[in-house]
Structure 1
Amino acid sequence: MKFIILSCLLAVSFAQQSAEIIHDDRVDNGDGSFSYSFSADNGLEMEVAGVPGSEGQSNMRGYYLLPLESGGFARVEFVADEAGFQPQSDLLPTPHPLPEHVHELLRIAERQRAEGITFD
């Protein structure tokens, strides 16, 4: 679903700018695997390859470029498979690092589990 939303956002961004497609390559291998790529003269581009997944879905891997307000583009690489849509980009927020005391508590809990200690 997130992939569809991002594709729509990319399409809206693309529609707001006048651009000419300079590369459009699509391959359907007939066995559920496919690939496509395109690029426009304004710098937008996307490339995706897919194969059939174990649960009937298409497993995809690829990237797309998003225009930045400051100029230039940000690259978003992604995998979409049984685990869902998994984007990776410097644009995406990341969680704050855990404080050191949390790491220490996790080490203690791991040691206790290894020793067979359990809590109800």
Structure 2
Amino acid sequence: MKFTILAALAAVALATPVYDAPSPSASHEHIEVLRDDRHHDENGHYNFEFESENGISWSEGGSPDGDEGAIVAAGEYSYVAPDGTEVVVKYVANENGFQPQSDLLPVAPEFPHPIPRFVLDQIAFAEAEDRLRALEGSHERPSVRSPSGTYRAPQ
């Protein structure tokens, strides 16, 4: 019995994965922090500014002015992309969510964008069908013009 327990403990110990922690001399580059200013008051207002020698910077200010004391914040961060492009993102975060702005972010086409003819035809046909349903039971015999022809209500 003792041998079985000892064998089970040895098996568990041998099965435990071994993780190699990176050595301090590994290929990690040391980046100097040039600025790290943080201010926070007792009312929940804060701001900070951070900058490192590799071109990363981030500044933000916020306060509990949102609904039910939610934090409303505004800020900006920037860095240099691997291709050398400077990336600058300005943002607001409030009850409408995170709203970034940058020349590098994609922009949706302006609305109203052109609606294809077949879509407009289908919308018109659906509206005519709705009118037909509203007139059902009356003495009129309405007809609906569809994109593929005319439909006359049954008698």
With normalisation by structure 1, the TM-score equals: 0.64
Alpha carbons of structure 1 residues 100 and 61: separation in structure 2 relative to 1, 3 Å: closer
Indicate the RMSD between aligned Cα atoms, in angstroms. Answer: 2.3
Q: Distance in 2 between matches of 1:48 and 1:89?
A: 16
Q: Distance in 2 between matches of 1:76 and 1:37?
A: 15
Alignment match of 1:65 (pick from 72, 78, 82): 78
Alignment match of 2:89 (pick from 73, 76, 96): 76
Task: State how many pairs are aligned.
Answer: 89
Q: Distance in 2 between matches of 1:97 and 1:84?
A: 21
Q: Which runs of 5+ in 1 are unaligned?
A: 1-15, 103-118
Q: Does 1:29 align with 2:41?
A: yes
Superposition misfits of 4+ residues, deviation over 6 angstroms: none
Alpha carbons of structure 1 residues 99 and 35: separation in structure 2 relative to 1, 3 Å: closer
Greater strand percent: which structure? 1
Alpha carbons of structure 1 residues 81 and 17: separation in structure 2 relative to 1, 3 Å: farther
Q: Which runs of 5+ in 2 are unaligned?
A: 1-27, 116-130, 132-155
- Aligned-residue sequence identity (percent) comes to 35
Post-superposition offset of 1:67: 2.4
With normalisation by structure 2, the TM-score equals: 0.51
